[in-house]
Amino acid sequence: MAYEFRLPDIGEGVAEAEITKWLVAAGDTVAEDQPLVEVLTDKATVEIPSPRAGRIARLGAEQGAIVPVGSVLVVIDVAGEASAPPAPVAHVAAVHAGATTPTVTTQTPPAVGVRVEAVPAARMLAKDRGLDLATVTGTGPNGRITLEDVKKTLEATTLPGKSSAPSAGAEERVPLRGLRRKIADHMAQTWSKVPQFTFVAECDMTAVVHAREAAKQGARESGAKLTYLAYVVRAVVESLPEFPLLNASLDEAAGEIVMKKHYDIGIATATEDGLVVPVIRGADRHELVDLAKEIERLAHGARDRKLGLEELTGGTFTITTTGAFGGLLATPIVHHPQVAILGVHAVTPKPVVRDGQIVIREITNLSLSLDHRVVDGDVGARFLYDVIARLERAEVPGR
């Protein structure tokens, strides 16, 4: 008997997920609890195991598709029970994890006038380059033609009246999928819904530079890489209780501002797939060295795609940095439904005036973007200067 396995409720209010990678193919034999597929939901990649042992009769969606909770992921022929075989396909199936050789099956060429199954991006590229999809061998589920199939065919084929070499104005189309699609959707939603403004101020980080220099050896001995970011997080969580509107969200349906009494600080982290925001839970309860350890752990986990959904959701305030490129000024976009995000720029020695004298100090710019529906400019400015004051009086350990 065929068993339809549907996308389960993964939690955190998730209603849909994107198929990012199939770990099995039609015809494969699977064991119970064997990983079937990786799905992306709310920036977390979740591996879903098989609930039954048997043979994969059919994949319910192609890679890149967005499927709602409750829709069929795979159809499994339960071990020992027969099920109708899938329609014959003519292609070499993609090699999946653990396979040593591709599975070769037979295919009946498409009849004249019959629409060839292909993903939209593949169809678009073929049309642009004048390629007949009937000449392409599909390697997707049930023989569906993928974008990579079209590209490989184009590389190996000279089309009538066209050169296979790209022209000077050639372009490449890349499907918007995975984390990049999630980021695009989230940024568009935030930009269209949230009237935001950015307040920028200069911060003298000289005290932090000296304090870090004195403390970093001890931190290293305890397994922590002490960075300026740890000091910024500490200053932020010390200031937020005095400015509760910045540690809040807006419940539009209820018409209420929800001020959070916990301080879960998101740290925007660049990865190969795009920007993700892992969260330091209870950041106000961490000592400086523990903050440094947690920042480093989350950053590595995000880049290695090893963080769980609970580590990527539920932040109350976000901090982002311009990273190795420094820069003079950036205006970060509020991480909706939060109402505030702090941007930290490079710390560099600059000449400044102190007590009528020109001296060299370690200076950075801090940029605070706010949801103007919740936070007024005066409140945001006072918060930022409170954070700056805490950073400028950072103490060297032992003093």
Residue 26, domain member (yes or no): yes
- The CATH number of the domain holding residue 72 is 2.40.50.100
Judge if 221 and 339 occupy the same domain.
yes
Distance from chain centroid for Cα 169: 32
DSSP of 259-281: E-SS--EEE-EEETTEEE--EET
- Res 79: pLDDT: 61
Average pLDDT over residues 173-191: 80
- Res 101: pLDDT: 31
pLDDT tens digits, 137-170 = 888 877 878 888 888 888 876 545 444 455 556 7
Planar angle of CA 375, 329, 248, nearest 5 degrees: 20
Query: Other CB atoms closer than 10 Å to residue 164's CB: what's the count?
Result: 11
**β-bridge mates for residue 84, sequence order:** none
At residue 119, what are phi and psi to the nearest 5 degrees?
-70, 150
CA-CA distance, 156 to 136, in Å (whole number)? 11
Judge if 194 and 340 occupy the same domain.
yes
Average pLDDT over residues 356-369: 96
**β-bridge mates for residue 360, sequence order:** 351
- Res 88: pLDDT: 37
Residue ending a domain, choose from 78, 105, 136: 78
Residue 42, domain member (yes or no): yes
Residue type for 190, please? T
- Res 121: pLDDT: 66
- Res 80: pLDDT: 56
Residue ending a domain, choose from 29, 45, 78: 78
CA-CA distance, 237 to 264, in Å (whole number)? 9
Is 110 within 8 Å of 144 (Cβ atoms)? no
Average pLDDT over residues 354-375: 96
Q: Is the pLDDT of residue 217 over 90?
A: yes
Q: Residues of 177-211 as b/e, b for ≥16 C-beta within 10 angstroms?
A: bbbebbbeebeeebeeebebebbbeebbbbbbbeb
pLDDT tens digits, 241-262 = 999 999 999 999 999 999 999 9
CA-CA distance, 142 to 26, in Å (whole number)? 8
CA distances from 69 to 6, 7, 11, 16, 230 (A): 7, 5, 10, 5, 38
Average pLDDT over residues 340-359: 95
Q: Which domain holds residue 209?
A: 179-392
At residue 181, what are phi and psi to the nearest 5 degrees?
-70, -40
CA-CA distance, 266 to 47, in Å (whole number)? 23
The rounded radius of gyration (Å) of the Cα atoms in the chain is 27
Residue 397, domain member (yes or no): no
Residue 355, domain member (yes or no): yes
pLDDT tens digits, 14-70 = 678 888 889 999 989 988 888 999 888 765 778 888 888 889 999 999 888 888 888
Q: What percent of the chain has pLDDT over 90?
A: 47
**What residues act catalytically?**
372
Judge if 331 and 185 occupy the same domain.
yes
Residue ending a domain, choose from 44, 78, 112: 78
- Res 108: pLDDT: 44
CA-CA distance, 349 to 204, in Å (whole number)? 10
Residue 154, domain member (yes or no): no
pLDDT band at 368 (very low <50, low <70, confident <90, very high): very high
Could you report how far apart the first and last alpha carbons of the chain are, in Å? 74
Residue 276, domain member (yes or no): yes
pTM over 0.85: no
- Res 182: pLDDT: 76
Structure tokens at 161: 């009246």
Judge if 253 and 372 occupy the same domain.
yes
Judge if 186 and 65 occupy the same domain.
no
Judge if 69 and 193 occupy the same domain.
no
Of 25, 391, 81, the residue nearest 205 (C-alpha): 391
- The CATH number of the domain holding residue 226 is 3.30.559.10
Number of domains in the chain: 2
Residue 138, domain member (yes or no): no
Query: Other CB atoms closer than 10 Å to residue 136's CB: what's the count?
Result: 21
Residue 207, domain member (yes or no): yes
Judge if 350 and 238 occupy the same domain.
yes
Q: Which strand (E) or helix (H) includes residue 58?
A: strand 54-59
Residue type for 110, please? P
pLDDT band at 324 (very low <50, low <70, confident <90, very high): low
pLDDT tens digits, 59-104 = 999 888 888 888 899 999 986 554 444 433 333 233 233 333 333 3
DSSP of 347-389: -EEEEEEETTEEEEEEEEEEEEEEETTT--HHHHHHHHHHHHH
Structure tokens at 169: 């104005």
CA-CA distance, 131 to 126, in Å (whole number)? 5
CA-CA distance, 258 to 266, in Å (whole number)? 18
Is 34 within 8 Å of 3 (Cβ atoms)? no
Judge if 252 and 364 occupy the same domain.
yes
Q: What percent of the chain has pLDDT over 70?
A: 83
- Res 12: pLDDT: 55
Q: Is the pLDDT of residue 379 over 50?
A: yes
Of 60, 18, 53, 12, the residue nearest 33 (C-alpha): 53
- Res 147: pLDDT: 80
- Res 322: pLDDT: 85
Average pLDDT, whole number, for the chain? 83
Judge if 59 and 206 occupy the same domain.
no
Average pLDDT over residues 306-321: 91
